[in-house]
Structure 1
Amino acid sequence: MKLNKAMLGTNFFAGDVVGGLGPYLAIYLLAGLQWSPGSIGIVLAIGSLTTVAFQTPAGAFIDNTSSKRLLLASCALLIGAATLSILLFSQYQIIIYVAQILMGIAIAFVGPCIAAITLGISGPEHFTVQMGANQAANHSGNVFAALLGAGLALWISAEGVFWLVAMMAIGMAICVGMVDGSKINHNAARGGLTHSSNDGDEPSALATVLSDKRLVTLVMCVFMFHFANAAMLPLVSQKLSINSNVNIGIAFVSACIIVAQFWMVLMSLLCAAKADAWGRKPLFLLAFFILPIRGLLFMWLEDPYALISVQSLDGIANGIFGVIILLIAADLTHGTGRFNLVQGALAAVVGIGSAFSNLIAEEIVQFFGYAPAFITLASLALVGGFMYLILMPETLQKRVDTDTDVSPHQTS
């Protein structure tokens, strides 16, 4: 299969646009603006909860729109503008809150929209390969941005990371514009069976999709994964920035991101090559059981270089999760026409888990310290891993579609 280069470019820029500001924002607010850990947890949670509120409706909207490219480019530009507003109007707390809300809305559409366009171009038979390549490009873009961010923070200004996100947003919008809209089959993009027409299958009833017990189990496990994972990097970054300045803190975060993203690239390529052979469950279990090890190491270690090395585990876990969760969603919704609705709902669960993670972990830090917070996160990861092991069956099935002899691309 020939990979879609425009989608690879879109994903290269998207990684920093969607997630690039998060860990930097915590450091900027703590060391640069002297916010309390509790206040930082609230502002991070606001963005996550906003994404949660819009995630499922965003998926349903994407299932029914043919303007996916315009929607994706607009969201990228909105994120860039909101990022700059935090920097330019940092003296006004209300601006920071509003910017987080706007970014939360835009982020709700970005991931599902990219996945939908990918599925519409590649079809389900090539989705694993293209999506794995997309994620590898995404993580490569994060490495690129983190290197630039570290250089900007150390040698120019910590504020440079905000401008970097805005520039990456523009690059993402340009790449989206390069995607050939005529190649997107909008019925295939929502998980429908018919590949030769955009008007073939009607989506399955929502109750039919929600009655799948595997989906309920997956929702619970995804929540636990991000409840355990989301706060770890912000916490360790804050821990090390207590006796340093904002520039050093941002440089440390950049180093952590670079190490993690390197492994994420490798894990994305591994999933693209082996997920259809090994199945989804072994890979997801590997990602789950790495999290408690990472949490305990963050608690025990103090040396910055050792902590940066531990971020390799984050790269392995999240590199697997980024690909596998979309493959499982495609497995569970194949033929239903509800792919984007379900992946939007799963992304909402990611947001809920992340919001609870940041909010509760920051409160634990404020009242009890960093060690109890890391122990709590590690314990949650262990519980979630056993939930997936015991309750979730393998979702990969060898299927023969009635339309496999028809190209997934829309015919002109």
Structure 2
Amino acid sequence: MSGRNTQSDTHTALANQHGPSLTTKKVNDQITTILRLILCFNFLIAPVKDGLAPLVSVYLVAEKGWDAASIAASSMVFTQNFAFLIMKSIVEGVATCFITPCKNSVVLGLIGHEQFDEVAKANEIADHAGSFLFIVIAGVVSFVLYPNNVGVFYIIGAGGLMACLSLLLMPLTISEGESDSDSSSSPSSIPDGADARGGRRSSNRPGLSRTRSLIDQKSSRNLEGEEATSYSSIIKDKNIAIFASSVFFFHLGNAAVLPLLSQTLAIESGRAGIPFTCANVAIAQISSMFATWGMGLALKRGIPYKIPLIVGYAFAVPIRCFAIVLLLKFWTNNYALLAMQLFDGVGVGTYGLSLTCLTKALTKGTGRFSFTLGFIITMHMVGAALSNLIGGYIVNLSSYIWGFISLGAVGSASVFLASFIHVKDHGHGGSVTEDLTMKRHTRTAEVKKDEEAEKDGDDGGDTDGGTEVTSNPIQV
């Protein structure tokens, strides 16, 4: 069945090996723990991704005297050595391109294609909530400790360290002693030495424990069938190319807007400079949480992925930049400028959820989910880097107003491109939630039938890998 729930392979195999009630509960509980730790990771790592760059930008311009162009591809805490800062930025970019694909591949391998959008929504909301909390704390610390604002960067760094700890605590495998296997009266359908998820486990000899991965490798790659699509086919795919191009132009227009807006607010603000920047980020994160929640509801109702994406693109760049230009020209009010970050939040929230959910939909069955996600994030990073560079130089050569006009014009291309994205298996008239409910009722009936056969002493034959054991549903 297309879009089968991938935790079912492990559940069925373990139920056959050890009895469904005990082992399925243990597996589900462990997967729930992993999903909650991933939520923690998203919450804690968020300020490193979302709040660090604009804070560094303001710190260098308002307090260290750098010009808008010089800070485009660099960041600092302990040093102003330009070569070191460039290498540091390269390492950060490479890490970002790996973290998101790896994290989402783990989620896809744990819970499958059908439940992915809902879990992705929860992770995205946790991301924005983490950014909001840490940036508020950073703003208060900066205001209290002014002019010694370096402490702000230690706070964000501490969040990153705690995020690493949440990764180390994830129990991605399950180990069970020989005593558990004796609790089942039905014979195992898994060959001795084989892993229920396509890997290997230890021998079935008495006294030895068995270790299985909880991640379905095929599902984590979004693969259906035996062979993955070639890399060249992915890059040549029209819809993937259009989505990647829209991401590039969105970040080419959007990435520099927040740093430049923060600079305009901070240059004459003195002690309130970094707190203003923190407020910029915090307002956007609040708006992002609501935008992500709203997009999640839209996807449940079968609305095509590209509709909220187009709305987000339009609000975040062309509409926002146009409004900022009008305010700077006719009514330079700091609080009105801060309110423009509500538009940014709409774009960031819808883009963040679209990045994973739309990539999952576009790569369904190809086995190239991680590669495609990494490719699109690379386009994101290239666009963002060029945005800061180009935006900074335009401001230096002309003014902040012309900087915002240029960025708004470039970002408009993303709205145009996104309108041509087409996803075959989404946007139909039916309800995704209703389809899922019907499939689960069917699976539950199949499981009950198998359990009754076991009680009668019948092994029930080979169990289909698509059957889901639902005795203990997974919760996030």
Could you tell me the TM-score, scaled by structure 2's length? 0.71
* Shift in alpha-carbon separation, 1:233–1:407, aligned structure 2, 3 A: farther
Q: Is the 8 A contact 1:329 1:342 kept in 2?
A: yes
CA deviations 1:318-337 (Å, max 9, x no partner) are 10000012111111111111
Q: Is the 8 A contact 2:51 2:281 kept in 1?
A: no
CA deviations 1:301-334 (Å, max 9, x no partner) are 2211111111011111110000012111111111
Counterpart AA for 2:320: R
Structure 1 residue aligned with 2:318: 292
* Shift in alpha-carbon separation, 1:407–1:292, aligned structure 2, 3 A: farther
SS in 1 for 2:319: helix
Counterpart AA for 2:467: D
CA deviations 1:335-365 (Å, max 9, x no partner) are 1110000000000000111111111111110
Q: CA separation in 1, counterparts of 2:93 and 2:62?
A: 23
Q: CA separation in 1, counterparts of 2:151 and 2:130?
A: 17
Q: Which has the greater radius of gyration?
A: 2
1:179 to 155, 170, 176: 170
Q: Please say if 1:160 is aligned against 2:151.
A: yes
Shift in Å, 1:27 = 0.8
Structure 2 residue aligned with 1:249: 273
CA deviations 1:11-59 (Å, max 9, x no partner) are 1012112233110111111122211212112437xxxxxxxxxxxxxxx
Shift in Å, 1:135 = 0.3
CA deviations 1:55-93 (Å, max 9, x no partner) are xxxxxxxxxxxxxxxxxxxxxxxxxxxxxxx322x2433
Q: CA separation in 1, counterparts of 2:465 and 2:228?
A: 17
Q: CA separation in 1, counterparts of 2:406 and 2:89?
A: 27
Q: How does 1:88-167 map to 2 (within 5 A)?
A: 88=78, 90-156=79-145, 157-167=148-158
Q: CA separation in 2, counterparts of 1:145 and 1:87?
A: 17
Q: CA separation in 2, counterparts of 1:384 and 1:101?
A: 25
Q: CA separation in 1, counterparts of 2:122 and 2:334?
A: 32
CA deviations 1:252-290 (Å, max 9, x no partner) are 111011111111111222222321421202111111211
Structure 2 residue aligned with 1:392: 421
Q: Is the 8 A contact 1:328 1:395 kept in 2?
A: no
CA deviations 1:187-206 (Å, max 9, x no partner) are 21121237xxxxxx332222
* Shift in alpha-carbon separation, 1:191–1:248, aligned structure 2, 3 A: same
Q: Is the 8 A contact 1:15 1:142 kept in 2?
A: yes
Q: Is the 8 A contact 2:314 2:412 kept in 1?
A: yes
Structure 2 residue aligned with 1:233: 258
SS in 2 for 1:87: coil
Q: Please say if 1:369 is aligned against 2:359.
A: no
Q: Is the 8 A contact 2:74 2:82 kept in 1?
A: no
Structure 1 spans left out of the alignment, 5+ residues: 45-85, 195-200
Q: Please say if 1:338 is aligned against 2:377.
A: no
Q: Is the 8 A contact 1:267 1:319 kept in 2?
A: yes
Shift in Å, 1:226 = 0.9
Q: CA separation in 2, counterparts of 1:273 and 1:305?
A: 31
Q: CA separation in 2, counterparts of 1:315 and 1:225?
A: 14
Aligned length: 358
Q: CA separation in 2, counterparts of 1:91 and 1:43?
A: 9
Q: Is the 8 A contact 2:262 2:280 kept in 1?
A: no
Q: Is the 8 A contact 2:73 2:89 kept in 1?
A: no
Q: Please say if 1:211 is aligned against 2:202.
A: no
SS in 1 for 2:268: coil
Q: CA separation in 2, counterparts of 1:345 and 1:100?
A: 18
Whichever structure has more helix as a proportion of its residues is 1
* Shift in alpha-carbon separation, 1:407–1:342, aligned structure 2, 3 A: farther
1:202 to 227, 244, 247: 227
Structure 1 residue aligned with 2:58: 27
Q: CA separation in 1, counterparts of 2:215 and 2:274?
A: 39
Structure 1 residue aligned with 2:348: 318
Structure 1 residue aligned with 2:443: none
Percent identical residues: 26
1:264 to 275, 288, 293: 288
Q: CA separation in 1, counterparts of 2:385 and 2:238?
A: 25
Q: Please say if 1:279 is aligned against 2:310.
A: no
* Shift in alpha-carbon separation, 1:407–1:332, aligned structure 2, 3 A: farther
Could you tell me the TM-score, scaled by structure 1's length? 0.81
Shift in Å, 1:295 = 0.5
Q: Which deviates more from structure 2 when the two are superposed, residues 216-225 or residues 378-387?
A: 378-387
Structure 1 residue aligned with 2:385: 355
